[in-house]
Chains A and B, each alone.
Chain A
Amino acid sequence: MAGKTLYEKIWDQHVVRDNGDGTALIYIDRQLVHEVTSPQAFEGLRLADRNLWRIDANLATPDHNVPTTDRSKGIEDPVSRLQVETLDQNCADFGITEFKMDDIRQGIVHVIGPEQGATLPGMTVVCGDSHTSTHGAFGALAHGIGTSEVEHVMATQCLVQAKSKTMLVSVNGEVNAGITAKDIVLAIIGEIGTAGGTGYAIEFAGDAIRALSMEGRMTVCNMAIEAGARAGMVAVDQKTIDFVKGRPYSPKDEQWEQAVKAWSDLHSDADASFDTVVNIDATSIKPQVTWGTSPEMVVGIDNKVPDPADEKDDVKREGMVAALNYMGLTANTPMNEIQVDKVFIGSCTNSRIEDIRAAAEVAKGRKVASNIKLAMVVPGSGLIKQQAEKEGLDKILTNAGFEWREPGCSMCLAMNADRLEPGERCASTSNRNFEGRQGQGGRTHLVSPAMAAAAAVTGHFVDVNDLMS
């Protein structure tokens, strides 16, 4: 019998029943809840007079709407405030554990799940947020769902799912200096396209993925959705187990031993077959910068803004013209000549401790360039903020002229007060460069934390290696 992929192993362990129509009822081990996609789900439960199936499988925190400045006055925008208060009330009414805005453990859902050990290897993890794919870094099957499905999981602890196809993305060889997880995943998206993973669960493998820290693997899996795949995952190894050990929600004592034994099987078998295999050469990856309004519109920093005239496909060419028009860019401009107005370091993609360390390393002894209106660093959680302060990273960053903020989603999607003004250009460590994503008319370039910090101190995009050598 042929071996199984990691995806198939976790799928098989979670089938409650085969519905016989191409779908199965899949058991969900963990649901993370935030304020934006949950209110209508709680309302649905109330209207149908239903309760939560398993209260302790849920963990909540507000993240999208929370201010990143002084929180002592609460949330100024009444609509945002109501949404956060609604989450507080719903969690109180239904008995769900919530890390509220004033809790040190509050943060971006995809940061706090792993930080608390609430995300464990082999689990099925869902959340009403597409970047739930992040948790796949732990050898978990994790994906975003809509509000109807949030309510479905609350009421039944299950989801009706059709099995995905499987894709192996193998990043082979060793990356060069200055290349981070963000550059790897942007290069992958540039290669397979934003719809390349549609219908698939992607397993990321190869030397370059194995060499990444857990934080780096989370960055890669986080952006699986930007390649169209609902789920991204990485096999369990010693790094996974070391990261999980001793966290508040992690198993203890005898159960820990039992769990570690079970987790040793969480990898694809050597003879497993995937529906699609993609090989990427790690050694050729350059620091990446997006130039357009889709994450697949990405090039290396040593490149130029692409010319639509070189594109043969009509629909794609028109898409490129529209993107350049929106971005205010001219074809064939060298990427390192593009000046930026704002710099955002944060989001569920890049707000973990190693991201802040990388930004601080570049910022150390330098100053934010005079043309930069705002350079901000938003940690992913209160605990990360505390750790960074313990290491003195906040001082390095503020001495260089960066603003040091409170944790949340912030300018990744600009639901709170942090946003771009029309026409402003931003070097951002977030995950989406869509039109209007960071504010109406705002122009987003996706980069790694080191590249964002390099843009902040020089005022334009630049190869971080030019600064660090």
Chain B
Amino acid sequence: MSTEALTSSEYIKHHLQNLTYGKLPGSDHWQLAHTAQEAKAMGFWAFNLDTLGVSLVLGVLFLFMFRLAAKRITADSKGVPTGLQNFVEWIVEFIDTSVRGSFSGKNPLVAPLALTIFVWILLMNLMDLIPVDWIPQLAHLAGLPFFKVVPSTDPNATFGMAISVFFLVVYYSIKMKGVGGFVGELTLQPFGKLGLPANIFLEGVNLIAKPVSLALRLFGNMYAGEMIFILIALMFGGGIGIGLFGGVLQWGWAVFHILIVTLQAFIFMTLTIVYLDMAHQEHH
């Protein structure tokens, strides 16, 4: 628990607040929000530094690792792969198999996209396994008012990725089928010309549901998981008995969470591949 005396509700709220950097209304300089109200008041033009920072670091870590392995494998393709290289190759093969299984078209973007999504989201989700107080406590020592360490519990992050995927889906739909084909798909089915409004409504919902479900599924799962960790962490303040019980619970939930973390990354990746596959296919 935090060093300051907080109520449970304050503790939870503190843990769920992002480190937001923006301009307060009426003020002209950029600053960190020190309360949830301030963060809210900053409006759209504010940045969650923790989300961006952690995801950036993790993404760079991912690319650095894989680039290193790629260099090694290229420099010494006859050598016996070891350690990191084996690991990277294993993941790449896994992604490649998934993409080959679900994506029937030909697009050099899809496989690297799937790899990036899977590893990046997996790394972000894995931040959830770090005990909930460690990083915020460190941040507190560094003078930062908040620090939410799991980027995928910030809807900005999940929607950011989901909307990017959505953009790609629309882009490839139009590229493969033409503007007419894309609009036709939205307006002329499933009821034909006469059912135009119904078609637009159904297909529109269908289209919009893709990024929304993609983002909310990941966000919801990770947010709920994080919330349970926070609730368990509250038990550590309740005496030795409850604290020990909390420790056992935390361990159990963490083990279970490893599954959720991987599964959510995998689902996000698979759905992205499937959506892009649908974008490449004619429906008629």
Q: Do A and B bind each other?
A: no
Interface residues of B, Cβ cutoff 8 Å to A: none
Chain A residues at the B interface, C-beta cutoff of 8 Å: none
